[in-house]
Each structure stands twice: as C-alpha cells, then as structure tokens.
Structure 1
Amino acid sequence: MKLSESRREVLEELQTTVAAPALPNNATETVAPGGGKDNHFSKLREKFMNELNKIPLPPWALIAIAIVAVLLILTCCFCVCKKCLFKKKNKKKGKEKGGKNAINMKDVKDLGKTMKDQDDDDDAETGLTDGEDKEQPKEVEKLGKLQYSLDYDFQNNQLMVGIIQAAELPALDMGGTSDPYVKLFLMPDKKKKFETKVHRKTLNPVFNEQFTFKVPYAELGGKTLVLTVYDFDRFSKHDVIGDVKVPMNTVDFGHVTEEWRDLVSAEKEEQEKLGDICFSLRYVPTAGKLTVVILEAKNLKKMDVGGLSDPYVKIHLMQNGKRLKKKKK
C-alpha cells in the first residue's frame, strides 16, 4: 500500500530536521553537553519511524490498536486493584466475625464439667453404676408358659402336683407344631420322675393330670419341684422346651395353689455314661422282613461286685408307643 503525499512530506521534514549537518574535512567536531543523548534519541526515533513506515496499515488503524492496548492495560490494572481490595475487606470481616463467634475453651470445659456432674447425680438417684448403665437389657426368649397346681395331704404325707395345661409353646417340629409333654420330679432326688401323656401337634396342650409324691412335710421345705416341658421326637433325642422350678419353702400349703409360670431355658442335664452299642439294620420290602444284627457293646457300666457285668441285649419293636414284638439275644 502506498503512503499518502502528505505523510511523505511530514516524514521528509522530520528526517531533514533530525539529520546532522555534514562537517568539513578539516573541521573539528564539537559535542555540546547532552548532545550525545539527543543524537541517540534522534536515532531511535528515526529507526522507529522507519519501522512504522514498513507496516502496511493506515494511520487510523494504528491509532485504534493503540487505544485498544491502552484500554486492556487499564482493565487489567482495575481488576487487580479490585481483587486486592476485596481480599482485604473479607479478611477484615473474618476477623470481626471470629471475634464475635470465637469459642471460649474455658466455657467449653465448664460446660462439660457441669454435664458430667449432672450425669453423676442422675446415676446416684437411680442407683445405677457406670457398668450397669452401659449394659443393654438382653431380650428374653419366649418359651411359653405352664399352669400347675400344688396341694399337700397332711394326713397321708403326700404332695399332690397337678399339671393343668401349657400355652404359647414354640414350634420345634417341621410342620410348625410340637409334640409336648411334661416331666416332673423333686430335687435333689432325681430318681423318682413322672411324665404326662404326649399331646401331638399342638402348641397349647391341655393335660389335666395329677401326680403324687410321698414325702414327709418336715422334709418338704428343703426340696424343689422341677417341671420340664419336652418336645417328643420319635427317632431322636427329645428336645427340651423349658422348665419351671418351684422351691417348696416358698409355697403356702394352707390352701391349694394354682398359678401360671413362664417357662425358662432349662439347664442341660449331664447324661450318665452307660456305654456304647453297635448294631446294623436291614429291611427287605418284598419280603416285609426287618433284620437287626447286634455286633458289639463297649464301655459298659460296671454292675457286679467284681467290677464287671453280665450283659445281654433285649430288642423291642414299638409302634405308636405300643410294643409289637420282643426279642432277646
């Protein structure tokens, strides 16, 4: 792009003004004070103008670019100043807010001490220690309840125990029911025991059975009546549902006592070791024949005076509690 004539004239005048006059060969160059600086400034301005002339842009475009650059610089300065002022303002507010809402550690300690003293006062009123307070109450398993009656015949020295009924027993069989019966005895004598009839598939059996213990009244106070409810199983050990223990020294025999008691978990009785027996069974459906073979017995209980026994085996075939056949080997 060609420059305008007016612009050329201005540039030529500047170059003529800036250019230094040529000195004759025999003339001595005299440098005025500060003349070196003016000469250097003139050279820089001349160089700048030469570079400016090389840019293919009109003057108005250069002026616009310069204005935009100045505006950008001013905008950046304004943003930096604003940001600094905003930080100082927030810092000041934070200090004021912290001063108002600051936590006083002394007040916190006093509050904690007050709450502790209050808890100690509550424990003193209730009579609970720290260990008892932390202990959570265990959920009691519901095993049902048993109704019984007690009476004593002073003329015949007989304790009469009536097993009336049981209710809300747990289901221990696969069908959602149980086959309950009650076993009772007087502690510490466990040899004489009585049992009720088995009631099939029910959780609320009605027994209405009575049993008699021959015991003098003078000895009755040191005994405890134990009523244990079992679930009958035909092919395995009977399951204990729960029991009720009645100390005789807590019963008033001046009248007939009849009451309901909740069943509690029964203590496992230690089974007396009587020995082991090994046998085999074989059934032939086509012939309808059951073969039982007694192989051996070991660890049997000593029954004779000499510390030995004379064992034999007796076999019973039972059906619904009735004996069908009997064999002796």
Structure 2
Amino acid sequence: MPGLIPDLVSGILWPHWALIVAALAAGVLAVSCLLCAICCCCQRCRHRKKPQDKVAMGLGSVCSSTTTHLVQPDVENVDSSLGGPRQWGRIQLSLEYGFGSQEIRVGLKQAADLRAKGMADPYARVSVSTQAGRRHETKVHHGTLCPVFEETCSFHVLPAELPSATLKVQVLDFKRFSEHEPLGELCLPLGTLDPQHVMEHWYQLGPPGTNEAEQMGELCLSLRYVPSSGCLTVVVLEARGLSSELAEPYVKVQLMLNQKKWKKKKTSTKKGTTAPYFNEAFTFLVPFSQVQNVDLVLAVWVRGLQLRAEPLGKVLLGPRASGQPLQHWADMLAHARRPITQWHCLQPSKEVDRILALQPRLRLPVPRP
C-alpha cells in the first residue's frame, strides 16, 4: 500500500541514525556469512583434488641440470657424502728421528673437524708397533672438536726396526663412567718417511679400529683428598675385562714418596671372576707439602693355578703420570674433600716400572716336583 513504509518508519520511536547503524550492521553480517560459505566450499574442493594431485617427484625426474644444482639434494645423497675421506677429522703431527739417541720424536700439535655427537672431550693416544705396551696419552680437552694438544713424546726405535715400524695415533672421547668412545685413528708406516728431516703435516684420520690397550682390563677407583688433615682416601671399586684364565684377582695399593716405596695395602681376593667387585677403602696420611712428591700405584695381581701371584697390569696416578691418570689426580686436587671416580685402563707393569725407575726383582727358581 502506498505510504505504508513511511508510516512504519515514523511509528518507530528510534532515531534515524540508530536505524542506519542497524541496517549497516545487518549488511556486514550478511556479507560475512556469505564469505564464510564461499571459503568452506573452496576448502572442500581442495581436499577432494589433493589425492589426485599427490605425485612423488625427485631430482632424478628433472632433466635440467641447472635445476638439479639449485635444489637441495636428496637424503640419500647427503648420507653418501658423509662417507667421504674427511668424516673422521684431521690431526697435525711432527716427526723427527735422532740417530744418536735412536728415538722417534712425535709432536702432537692439534686436531680439527672431529666427528662426534655434539661436543666431546677428546684426547690422543700414541704408540709404536715395535714397543708393545708402551704408549703416551695427552691431556683431556673438554668441550671441543678442535683440540690443541702441543705435547711431545718419544719412542725408542732401532734404525734396523724403523722401516717395519708403524706409528699409531688414536683420538678418543673421554667418558668418566663408561667406555671411552673412539673418534678416529691414524696408522702411519715410519718406513715411508725421511728420518733425516723434521716433518710436520696434516694427516687424515680413518675409522677407529680395535683398542688393544683395553684387552688387559680396566680398574675403577675413587680418590679423595682433604688438605687440612692430609687424608688421602683411595677406594678400589671394581675391575672388568680381565683375562678369562685368571683365578683369584686382587689389587695392591702402593704409595711412593720421592721415588721410594713408602706405604702399601691390598684388597681381599675374589675367586672365580673376571669382573671382581671390591668396594674397599684405604686411607693414607699425606701432608699437603708432600702431595706433589707422591705417586700412587694400583696393581692388579692374580694367583693362578701354580699358586704364584703375578702382576696383570698397573695404573699410575700422580704428578709423573700422563693422560687420564694425570687428569684424575688434578681433578682430585682441584675439588678438595670431594670423591672423584673414574675408570682407568691397565698398563703393562714394565712400562709403569720404567716411568717410576724401579728395578725388577730377581726371582728365585721355584723347584718343581
């Protein structure tokens, strides 16, 4: 009917501006609902087309060489590239042979690009094939993959043995309570080198091999020193990896002062085991003024079927030690009144006696029935 809408508008008590605002709000709401409906429809269409468009595509199907170089390589290519010659890192060595002293002088400079899971605590172990059991261990460098050693060691090699001798350098990751993880290894034939000149080169590390030094066994011990009272507490915890032919292993703890035998004690004997558990503590009174003149030697002895005890291996700790034993001794002095526990590889008894300048005892022949 003509005039109906103006009559209805005039009958509403709201002001004109309120009506305009309500009309605009209704329009905005309608447009929003329409856009939402359109978006939902598009999403459904995409989900329906996705299974048809899902096609696997690799770099092998691309013919253009330019595209292949610009795109990131596949996972298989990355894994294969890790097997290159630089995966184990490098080590810098200097070699010098003295004909007068008949010694090969090895200078451990530094290592770089070591491969480990995160940061490592690397150290190096050096040995020569002509001297079985003789080895040198560097200081442990914490939290780095590029350690700087700057250490020197020497090995006695006769000129006739030089062409067949092999220098072996192992880089290991130090673990205080578990087996040390090998990071790389270098086997360098000394016969290919010129002994008349000092040579310093970077060498590529190869994959680590078997560790012969740990075949003798390992010993776990704890050290604690109290400077105020001068109490040195040595706790022999356990051993592992001993020879299967051993019958009754035990440990001798010997303290030396100024390269002379001072005090000694020993643990109880464990029968029929290659992994004995001792957990025995020994206390020595060592004044703080003499702690730098003390050497601690722990020897694993065995009593075989012939009822004669023989030393299987020894561990030397103190100022004259090297490698991990020296680090253990330094940690004990740096953390006074706190027990420091660590595993140690057994060294040959003759090697420890040579470092301590001990003379071997003359054994009397045992009469046989």
Q: Which has the higher contact order (CA 8 A, sep 6+)?
A: 2
State the TM bucket, normalised to the shorter chain. 0.3 to 0.5
Q: Of Structure 1 and Structure 2, which has the larger fraction of its residues in strand?
A: 2
Q: Of Structure 1 and Structure 2, which has the larger fraction of its residues in helix?
A: 1
With the length of structure 2 as denominator, give the TM-score of the two structures.
Answer: 0.40
Computing the radius of gyration from Cα coordinates, the structure with the larger value is: 1
